[in-house]
A and B are shown apart, each in its own frame.
Chain A
């Protein structure tokens, strides 16, 4: 779930970790009551500063995705279908934004990009 975290990305590491978990919730891979790994275990596994994992979990808690129970761990909250859809949409938007930045770098026109997307998804 946490492959290819990108240290170079302008998106902070904690945000990248939180985003992976949000996507897993949106996709239904994580459901209500599932426990997230402890801070110690996830930090060790990803070899990131523990504070980064704590920050990721806190931001998920602020968004209502998880609940941090003192001493017990961090658990996935129930998430409505609307929320899941919104999360999927947001993931798609990020993907497109990322593509557009690359496209600008390569000097590709809008028409070229739109054409390529349509061809790839079989609409052209």
Chain B
């Protein structure tokens, strides 16, 4: 098994408006995979397909080597899941919720659970229904991590949490990953938060996967150039020009390029263009530009 998650030609239709088409995801074992996409792009639907909660119209899903939906039960025994909305019984205490989970998951690790209770500043006798939003987020992460999963599927795990709770949740996640080769599939529209944590990125837009790359490849070579006096037509440039527009205030143009490497400034000099600046993009900007160019293409 090379991939913790692999889907092929996956198709699902929810109503007339929305469809997941030909989705081919590959999440390598041991990777922390950021699943990005704007609201409504199909991230949660995809996750529910992966978990066997929805039945695909066509295509195949393999999670931890199990066929989904047929072997969903076996798959779930090794998969920790934090849903977008809390799924815990509000009348249970933190302790009772842990006992409930411990009964279901044979790899449940009580010492890890105790550690996380302390680390997250929770109390065992607190009722789930009385927890703050941040505490609920931490409790869900605790339950997912203490079952010692081989795969964590997290749907917007930090959405709506305050910065301190977000930090605690992400730290615990990173510490868990450091200890073994578990894979993490984490969906979010909070792009900058995933930038340092993930080593793979998949971008979903309107039910289609428009990019899936190692983080380094995704970010490397995606630049904005500020260029002056360039000819309107470029002859076979060594990089891909995704967009080209005026900067609004000066005679310079802004180019969005992919595949940029420093020696390529020679190409610009050779066509008589004046390269003023090479601007590095962070993941969020790269993501926004990618969506923009995918939609105009």
> Counting CB contacts under 8 A, is B132 at the interface?
no
Stretch at the interface among A28-36, A46-54, A72-80, A115-123: A46-54
Interface centre among A13, A39, A50 (most CB of B within 10 A): A50
> Counting CB contacts under 8 A, is A7 at the interface?
yes
Give 1 or 0 for each of A46-66: 1 = CB within 8 Å of chain B CB: 111111100000000000000
> Counting CB contacts under 8 A, is B243 at the interface?
no
> Counting CB contacts under 8 A, is B171 at the interface?
yes
Q: How many residues of A contact B (CB 8 A)?
A: 22
> Counting CB contacts under 8 A, is B177 at the interface?
yes
Report Cα–Cα, A46/B167, bound state, in Å.
9
Partner of B197, one of A39, A45, A49, A105: A49
Q: Which residues of A contact B216 (CB under 8 A)?
A: 12
Chain B's interface size range is: 20 to 34
> Counting CB contacts under 8 A, is B178 at the interface?
yes
Q: Which residues of A contact B197 (CB under 8 A)?
A: 47-49
Q: Which residues of B contact A13 (CB under 8 A)?
A: 196
Inter-subunit contact A44/B283 (CB<8 Å): no
> Counting CB contacts under 8 A, is A69 at the interface?
no
Inter-subunit contact A7/B282 (CB<8 Å): yes
Inter-subunit contact B282/A46 (CB<8 Å): no
User: A41-B175, A45-B171 provided; 17 other pairs, C-beta below 8 A?
Assistant: A5-B196, A7-B195, A7-B282, A8-B282, A40-B175, A40-B179, A43-B175, A43-B177, A44-B171, A44-B172, A47-B167, A47-B171, A47-B174, A48-B174, A48-B196, A50-B177, A52-B196
9 A/B residue pairs, CB under 8 Å, sorted by A: A8-B281, A43-B177, A44-B172, A47-B171, A47-B196, A48-B197, A49-B196, A51-B199, A52-B196
List of 3 A-B pairs having minimum Cβ-Cβ separation, nearest first = A40-B178, A50-B178, A44-B175
